[in-house]
C-alpha cells in the first residue's frame, strides 16, 4: 500500500511538472502566433492600400501597442488550458502516468486548437485594421467569408457586405464574430465597391 501511495504521489508530481511545461510552451506559441498573424494582416492590408494610393504611408507603431495585451492573454489561455489538462489527467492518474497524460491531451486538444485559430484570425484582422484606420481617402471594406461546408449562417450572410473604410460591419469585425471564425475583409476602391454593389443587387 505504501508503494502504491508513493507511486501515486510520484505520478501526481510528474503530471504537475508536465502541466507547467505545457503551460509555458502554449503561452509562447499563442503569443508568437498572434504577433506573426498581426504582422501578416498589416502587410496584406498595406499592399491593398498601396494599389489605391502608391504614396500612402502607414505608422506601424500601433502594432506594438498590442504586444503587452497579447502576452497577458497568452498567459491566461495557457494557464487555463494547463489547469484543465492537469485536472483531467489527475482524474485518471491511477491508470498510469502515460495513459493519464494521453487522455488529458485528447480531451483538451480541441479547445486549444479553437483558441489558437480564433486568436490568430482575430490578430490578423487587427493588423489589417491598424492600416485601414489610417486611410484618409475614399475607400471601402468588403467582408470576405470562407465559403464551404463549415461556414456558419452569420458569416455566409455577411459575405460581400461593403462599408466605408472607417465604418463597422453590421456583424462586428471579421475574424471575431465567433470562435473559429475564418473571415477577413478586403480593402477596395470606390469604383470596385460600386461594381460589387451593382452585382449584388442584380443577383
Q: Which residue has the cell 475614399?
A: 138
Query: Tell me, what's the pLDDT at 92?
Result: 65
Classify 143 as helix, strand or coil: strand
Give CA–CA dist 166/142, Å, rounded: 12
Inter-axis angle of helices 2-52 and 67-91, to 10 degrees? 150
* Cut 0.85: pTM above it: no
Query: Tell me, what's the pLDDT at 197?
Result: 65
Encode the chain (203 residues) as per-residue pLDDT tens digits: 333 333 443 456 677 888 888 889 889 989 999 999 999 999 999 999 999 999 999 887 888 888 888 999 999 989 988 888 787 777 765 555 555 555 555 556 677 778 888 889 999 999 999 999 999 999 999 999 999 998 999 999 999 999 999 899 998 889 988 888 999 999 999 999 988 764 444 44
Task: Record the cell numbers describing residue 71, joined without a space.
Answer: 502576452
Give CA–CA dist 110/115, Å, rounded: 9
Q: Which residues of 142-152 are buried (b: 16+ CB within 10 A; e: fewer)?
A: bbbbeeeeebe
Quick: pLDDT tens for 49-99. Answer: 999 999 999 887 888 888 888 999 999 989 988 888 787 777 765 555 555
Inter-axis angle of helices 2-52 and 97-132, to 10 degrees? 20
Q: Which residue has the cell 459575405?
A: 159
Query: Tell me, what's the pLDDT at 52?
Result: 94
Query: Tell me, what's the pLDDT at 17?
Result: 86
Query: Tell me, what's the pLDDT at 1?
Result: 34
Amino acid at each position: 500500500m505504501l508503494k502504491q501511495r508513493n507511486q501515486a504521489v510520484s505520478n501526481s508530481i510528474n503530471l504537475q511538472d508536465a502541466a507547467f511545461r505545457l503551460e509555458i510552451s502554449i503561452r509562447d506559441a499563442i503569443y508568437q502566433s498572434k504577433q506573426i498573424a498581426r504582422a501578416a494582416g498589416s502587410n496584406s492590408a498595406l499592399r491593398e492600400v498601396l494599389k489605391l494610393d502608391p504614396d500612402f504611408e502607414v505608422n506601424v507603431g500601433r502594432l506594438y501597442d498590442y504586444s503587452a495585451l497579447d502576452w497577458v492573454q497568452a498567459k491566461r489561455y495557457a494557464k487555463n488550458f494547463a489547469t484543465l489538462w492537469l485536472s483531467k489527467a489527475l482524474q485518471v492518474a491511477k491508470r498510469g502516468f502515460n495513459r493519464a497524460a494521453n487522455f488529458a491531451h485528447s480531451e483538451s486538444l480541441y479547445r486549444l486548437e479553437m483558441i489558437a485559430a480564433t486568436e490568430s484570425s482575430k490578430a490578423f484582422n487587427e493588423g489589417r485594421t491598424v492600416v485601414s484606420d489610417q486611410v484618409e481617402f475614399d475607400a471601402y471594406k468588403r467582408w470576405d467569408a470562407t465559403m464551404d461546408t463549415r461556414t456558419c449562417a452569420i458569416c455566409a450572410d455577411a459575405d460581400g457586405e461593403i462599408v466605408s473604410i472607417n465604418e463597422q460591419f453590421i456583424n462586428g469585425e471579421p475574424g471575431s464574430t465567433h470562435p473559429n471564425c475564418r473571415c477577413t475583409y478586403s480593402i477596395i476602391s470606390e469604383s470596385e465597391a460600386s461594381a460589387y454593389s451593382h452585382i449584388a443587387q442584380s443577383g
